[in-house]
Homo-oligomer: A and B are copies of this chain.
């Protein structure tokens, strides 16, 4: 095995190439269209189709924005009816019947059953905007500047979120960002385990030079950071530390929420109650831009309009979101299916790791969010490319793209799941044989 990015013979992609006029019109910043060089036309469930009729199985799910699959028929019906009836499409933060329906459904299906009394803020319809709002609010509530964030964190690309994001993307800010205290995430390095202990010792000692931050922002599973999974114990210790020091706990559930890890919120299994929760990606359920911030009532100190934005109430997204809540979160069917499928993936990855000791594979995950880390940074990318050639859309993550990331729709069938895992297995076998 000596495959490298350049000489490994990836199977021919049958998908259409991207016409040259489009490539030259769109900025060099484009990225996924390079990894998957096809023009996609339509999609349903777990399948994407190109304009030349090729079909791809989707282990990417809009980076977690399509938990209920593409063009989910239940949501689609609700959306078409709404649009057909000339429902409000744009209303800033005016009250609309679509928003009213969503708020009530969210309270009935999500908040009340979990004993949560959080209030809902509709921010600009992107995850990063919900994070910006959370950071502002935590600073306003506490009067402090710094926010603690973790190694390998990803919270978004606008300047405020970028300051808490770790890794090379931060350099893109073009100016030094500050007011961030970087802490080791659960499992970081050999010393990461005691990171929270060191943090508390620094807070306790008034001469340490580390002041109590306004907040700690955390993901329960770091998706972009390489599918790093925090343990229940660590999350509980973190929550308790935040309470002790009156730092707001901001749970960035943008990718991990909406059932991705099993329960609706990713923090439910740890039994913690974050002060602020950022939701986006799959909250609309249909891939429509939407984001919200949940805030404990005592922290709702905003003045009217203090954080605003033109698209902060995306009414068509409210409609599909309400339909998704009604259809998938009235009972535990989806959560149970996710746990079954999660187990299936875990067993598969164990087999693969045992079968290929030469790759030093390490797998980890929760719900339908799994990663396989390779020792060599280029291997995950090769597997991703080979998989695409074999009809599977799957991406990599981690600071060096060294982790293959499995993120199918939650509504995927067992047969589709097995099909996709089979492609991955074949690609790894081929790489091993090379």
Hey, which bits of chain A sit against chain B, CB under 8 A? 18-19, 21-22, 24-34, 36-44, 48, 51, 62-66, 70-71, 76, 79-80, 83-97, 99-100, 103-104, 106-107, 119-122, 124-129, 132, 135-136, 138-140, 145, 149-153, 156-161, 163, 165-170, 172-176, 178-180, 182, 184, 188-192, 194-195, 197-198, 201-202, 205-210, 214, 225-226, 254, 280-281, 286-289, 293, 295, 300-311, 314, 316, 398-400
With A126-B125, A167-B206, A179-B178 as contacts: A100 and B159 at CB distance below 8 Å = no
User: B residues within 8 A CB of A156?
Assistant: 309
- Point out the residues of chain B lying under 8 angstroms from A99, CB to CB: 22
Contacts of A94 in B (CB 8 A): 32-33, 36, 38, 40
The reply to whether B124 and A126 form a contact with Cβ atoms under 8 Å apart is: yes
Contact A311 B125 (CB under 8 A): yes
Q: Which residues of B contact A316 (CB under 8 A)?
A: 288, 316
User: Are A93 and B30 closer than 8 Å at their CB atoms?
Assistant: yes
Among B125, B188, B207, B308, the residue within 8 A (CB) of A289 is B125
> In whole angstroms, what is the CA distance A41 to B175 when docked?
44
3 residue pairs, one from A and one from B, having the closest CB atoms: A90-B287, A207-B399, A166-B209
Considering the chains assembled together, what is the distance between the CA atoms of A138 and B172 in angstroms?
11
Chain B residues lying within 8 Å of A125, measured Cβ to Cβ, are 125-126, 289, 311
Residue in B22, B129, B288 whose beta carbon sits within 8 Å of that of A126 in the complex: B129
Kindly state the separation between the CA atoms of A86 and B286 in the bound complex, as whole angstroms.
Answer: 11
Tell me the smallest distance from the CB of A248 to a CB of chain B, in Å.
12
Q: Are A310 and B65 touching (Cβ within 8 A)?
A: yes
6 A-B pairs within 8 Å (CB atoms) are namely A25-B104, A28-B301, A33-B94, A43-B86, A89-B286, A128-B129
Report yes or no: A28 in contact with B135, Cβ–Cβ below 8 A.
Answer: no
Contact of A202 among B38, B184, B286 (CB under 8 A): B184
Are A129 and B158 also in contact (CB < 8 A) when A42-B87, A121-B26 are? yes
Given A91-B62, A207-B151: A140 in contact with B29 (beta carbons within 8 A): no
**B132 touching A157, Cβ below 8 Å:** yes
Which residue on B lies nearest to A308, using beta carbons? B157
CA distance A79 to B316 in the complex (A): 12
Are A207 and B168 within 8 A (Cβ)?
A: yes
Measured between beta carbons, the chain B residues less than 8 angstroms from A173 are: 136, 139, 160
Which residues of chain B are near A138, meaning CB under 8 Å? 174
Give every chain B residue within 8 A of A26 (Cβ-Cβ).
103, 119-122
Number of copies: 4
A207 contacts which of B39, B93, B400 (Cβ < 8 Å)?
Answer: B400
A90 surroundings in chain B (CB, below 8 A): 62, 65-66, 70, 286-288
B132 near A302: Cβ-Cβ < 8 Å? no
Given A91-B40, A94-B36, verify A309-B126 contact (CB < 8 Å): yes
Q: Which residue of B lies closest to A292 (CB)?
A: B27
User: Chain B's nearest CB lies how many Å from the CB of A132?
Assistant: 5
Q: How far is the CA of A201 from the CA of B93 in the complex (A)?
A: 34
| Extra inter-chain contacts (20) besides given A140-B172, A194-B194, A289-B289, CB under 8 Å | A22-B104, A26-B119, A27-B121, A33-B94, A41-B88, A44-B86, A125-B311, A126-B311, A127-B309, A129-B129, A145-B174, A158-B158, A159-B160, A167-B207, A170-B209, A176-B178, A182-B208, A189-B201, A205-B399, A207-B400
Known contacts: A145-B176, A175-B145, A308-B31. The answer to whether A104 contacts B21 by CB under 8 A is: yes
Q: How far is the CB of A231 from chain B (nearest CB, A)?
A: 19
Tell me how far the C-beta of A325 lies from the nearest C-beta in chain B, rounded to whole angstroms: 14
Once A43-B88, A208-B166, A287-B90 are accepted as A-B contacts, the answer to whether A62 and B310 lie under 8 Å apart by CB is: yes
A41 touches B189 (CB 8 A): no
CA distance A149 to B398 in the complex (A): 29
Residue of B nearest to A208 (CB): B151
Return chain B residues, CB-CB under 8 Å to A29: 93, 121, 300, 302-308
